[in-house]
Structure 1
C-alpha cells in the first residue's frame, strides 16, 4: 500500500506552507507577532518536525509538476498532443476547443497579468523556500544522526536544484541562446524568507546553471542510504535520480563530456535496467505502479483507505466514450513510428463524435497507455539516460557509441536498427520524441536544438508554428511578481 503522501493533509505545518509567499511578497509574514516566528523554530527543532516539512515539500512538488498546464506544456506546445472533443454538455458535445486554463500559452501568447502558469511560478518558489528552511534548520537537530542530517540536506538540495531547473526551462531561453549564456536566467534562491525581505535580480543563464550544478554536486557528496520517509523509495530523491537530473542539466547546458559521463554513471551503476521489449507495453499498462526502469516518479497521494486522489489519467485517461481526458496523440507524433514499432501499441484508438462545421462525424483519437489507471508523474527513467548518452556521444564525435545507444532504444522497441552516421543527430532528436512522448520533453528538445515549432494535426491555435529564435519560446514572469520586485526584469515581448 502506497503511504508516501497519505497523511500530508493532516500535518499541522502552517508557517512552512503559509508564509512561503515568494521572496518578494513576504512583508506580512515578517510583520507578524514574535510568537509566530517562534513556531517555525519549534516546528523545525526536531527530526520529526523536519521530516514532516520534507514530506510536505514532496507533496507540494508532486502537485506542482502534476498541474495540467505544466504536465501538458512541452508536448502540447511542440505538437505531440492535440485535443479530444468535448463531452461537457449536449450543446457542445463533439466540439474541439482549447481549454480555457491553457488558452494563452497554447497560442504562444501568454499574459503577464494573468499567466496560465502563474501558480507554477509561485509554487516553485514556495517549494524552494521550504527546501531552504529545511537546509537552514537541519544541522541544528539534536535528535538526528549525522547520516540522517546528510540525507535530509541532500534531498532538500536536490529539490531546490530541480525546481530552479524547471523554472529556467519555462522562463529563460535555452542555454545556447547566446554564445556565452549571458542572457537572463532566473532568480536563484539559496536563503529562506526568514532572512528578511529580498528583492533579488535574475542571474544570467550561465550563473543559473552553475548554481543548479553546484547544488546537485553538493547533494551527491552527502547522500546516504538512510530511508527517511514511508512509501516507495522511487518516490523520493536519491543518489541515482539526482545523477539523472544532473545528466539532464548537463545536456541542457550542452556540456557534452559531463552529460556523457553522468548518464553513463547512471546506466552503469544505478542497478536499474531497461524494461525488456517483451514487457514494455505491459509495464506501462500497470494501473498502480510505474515501469520498472523508473528512477523517480512522484506518486499520487492516497488516504488511509488507500484511495488515490488525482493522477495523470485526469488529463490523458480513457474510461469510456463519455469519460476521458482532454489530450490525445497527434498524427504528427504517431506518423513517426514504424509499422513494427511496439511503441505504437501505447496509443489506443477510440473513435469519438466530433463536430465538423457543426455536423457530427466519428473521428479516431489515440489515447496514450502511459497514463491510465492511477499513474504518477514520471520525472526520470532510464531510457532518457541512454538518449542523453547518445546525444552527448554524437557531439563528442563518438558516433559508434551514439549509434549503439540509439539502437539499444530502437531495438527494444522492435524498430529497425540505425545503420550509418548520416543524419544521426536528427535520428536521436526524433528518437527522443518517440520514446519520451507525453513525458514533458519535446518543446525543450526543440529549443535546445534551435528548431522551429510546427504543429499540424489538430492544431486549433492562431499560431500553429513558431520560428526559432523567438521570445515566445518562454513565458512571462507573472506581473504580480514584477510589481513586487523592482529588480525583477520581465522577459522580452511581455
Structure 2
C-alpha cells in the first residue's frame, strides 16, 4: 500500500467530506450550514457516539434498500422482468429501470456507472464505522462492556459493507484457484489522519479481513445494543454469525459454513415461520417475518409515517399505481402448484403495448415487499440452505436433503426422496425461497453457472457464459481518477 503525504485533518465536517470527495452526506455528522459539529466534539462522549452509530444504520438502509442494489442480483439472474408504465404518455410501454439500464444489459460504463452512488456510499459507511472504532476506546463515560458493544456493531457494519462491495466488484472467490485475483480496497482506518491511496487486496485477503472483523465482533458483543429500537434492526451476535456463515459459503469454506449456520439454527432462539402462518407473515404491514435475523429499520418522519421502503421497488397499489419490478415466469414456473410460496405472488392483468399492439398481460408482483416492507438482510431460512449446501460439500448428502426438506415441507412442496442431483436442487431451492432478497446472481457466479434470462428479457444481452468479465461491475472513473493505485476491473 502506498501512502502519499498526509493532508491536515480538518476540524469541521464540511471540509472533511470535501477531502473525502464523496457526493453522499453523513446524516450523523452533517448538520445545517453554520452549525457543523466537529468530529472530535461529536464523538468525545457516549451520547455522541451512539448518535453516530444510529445515523450509520440509517445510511446502510439507504444504501441497500433502493432498487440499485436491492433488485440487482435478482434482475441480473433472471428472477425479475419489468412492468409496463402505469400512466402518462408512455402508458403500456415496457422499458428498463433508469437506475439499472446499463447494468441490466451488462453494459455498465465506468464513466457513467449506474452504481457510482452505491460505491461511494459504501466507502462512506466504512469510513464512518472506522471513525466510531477510533474514538470509542477513549470514551470516559462508557463501561468496557458498552465500548465493546459499540465496537462489535461498528466492526460488523464495516465487514458487511466490504462484503457487499466484494460481491459487486470482485469475481467470485474461486474464480482463480488460490483466490489471487483482485478483491477490493479494504479500509481499516478513517481518513481523519490523512488521505491514503491504497491498492486493492486480493480476493483471499479481502475475505480474510472480512472474516477477522466478523469474528472479532462476535467475541465483543454484550447482551444487547445500546440503541433504541427492535433488536432485529441492529447487528448482534446471532445475525453476525449468520453473516459469517454467508461469507464462509461464498468463500467455499464448507466446514465453517456448516458450523456457523448450525450455530444460528440451534442457538439463536429464532425459529422458522410456520407453514400455517407463512403467507400471513409476509403480508402483514410494517413488521418483518417472525424468522427475521436482521432487517434495517425503514425511515419514518416525526409523525411515524414511512418515507421510503421496499414497496417503492416491488409495490402494487392499483392498476394505475405500481412499481417497475415484477417476477419473471422463469421464476414463477419453478414452483409446484401446491407450493405455498406461489401464493406470495400477486397476479395482475395490466395494459401493455407489444409491438405497437394494445393488449393486457399478466404480471406477478411479489407479496414479500408490500405494505411498507423493510429490507431483509438475513433470515433463518437462509441458514438451513447454507447448512444443506455445506453438508453436501462435506459428503453428508442425507443431512443436506433433510435440511432442504425442512424448507420444502414448510412450503407444502413435495419432498425429495433421494440425493440425486442434490446440488442443483439446492440452487433451485435457494432461488425459490430467497427470491427478491439479493442472492440469485451471486449464487450463479459462486456456483460457476451461466446466466440465462428468458421471460420478459429486454436487455441487449440476456445471457452470459461463465466465466465472464461482466460478472462484475466497473469501478467508477471518478474513483480511479482520485486514487492512482485503484486498479480497474478488466474489460472496463
Tell me the TM-score normalized by structure 2.
0.94
Distance (Å, rounded) in 2 between the aligned partners of 1:218 and 1:422: 39
Runs (5+) with no aligned partner, structure 1: 1-13, 27-35
**1:45 matches 2:44:** yes
Summarize deviations over 1:281-315 as a string: whole Å, max 9, x none.
00000111000000000120112211111000011
2:116 is matched with: 118
Q: Secondary structure at the match of 2:134?
A: helix
Q: Secondary structure at the match of 2:368?
A: coil
Q: 1:165 aligns with which of 137, 157, 163?
A: 163
Summarize deviations over 1:62-87 as a string: whole Å, max 9, x none.
00001211111000000000000002
Distance (Å, rounded) in 1 between the aligned partners of 2:15 and 2:303: 28
Q: 1:393 aligns with which of 391, 394, 406?
A: 391
Distance (Å, rounded) in 2 between the aligned partners of 1:169 and 1:150: 28
Residue 227 (structure 1) shift: 2.9
1:442 is matched with: 440
Q: 1:283 aligns with which of 266, 281, 284?
A: 281
Q: 2:356 aligns with which of 355, 358, 361?
A: 358
Tell me the TM-score normalized by structure 1.
0.93
Q: 2:422 aligns with which of 406, 424, 440?
A: 424
Distance (Å, rounded) in 1 between the aligned partners of 2:141 and 2:233: 25
Question: CA 1:154 to 1:421, structure 2 compared with 1: closer, same or farther past 3 Å?
Answer: same
1:205 is matched with: 203
1:3 is matched with: none
Q: Secondary structure at the match of 1:493?
A: coil
Distance (Å, rounded) in 2 between the aligned partners of 1:114 and 1:284: 37
Q: CA RMSD in A?
A: 1.7
Distance (Å, rounded) in 1 between the aligned partners of 2:58 and 2:375: 12
Aligned ranges for residues 339-378 of structure 1 at < 5 Å?
339-378=337-376
Question: CA 1:68 to 1:403, structure 2 compared with 1: closer, same or farther past 3 Å?
Answer: same
Distance (Å, rounded) in 2 between the aligned partners of 1:327 and 1:64: 18
2:311 is matched with: 313
Distance (Å, rounded) in 1 between the aligned partners of 2:428 and 2:37: 54
Residue 21 (structure 1) shift: 6.1
2:154 is matched with: 156
2:328 is matched with: 330
2:471 is matched with: 473
1:228 is matched with: 226
2:242 is matched with: 244
2:16 is matched with: 19
Task: Answer whether contact 1:20 1:130 (CA < 8 A) is retained.
Answer: no
1:33 is matched with: none
Residue 25 (structure 1) shift: 7.0
Task: Answer whether contact 2:13 2:37 (CA < 8 A) is retained.
Answer: no
Task: Answer whether contact 1:43 1:50 (CA < 8 A) is retained.
Answer: yes
2:85 is matched with: 86
Question: CA 1:22 to 1:95, structure 2 compared with 1: closer, same or farther past 3 Å?
Answer: farther
1:133 is matched with: 131
Runs (5+) with no aligned partner, structure 2: 1-10, 24-34
Number of matched pairs: 472
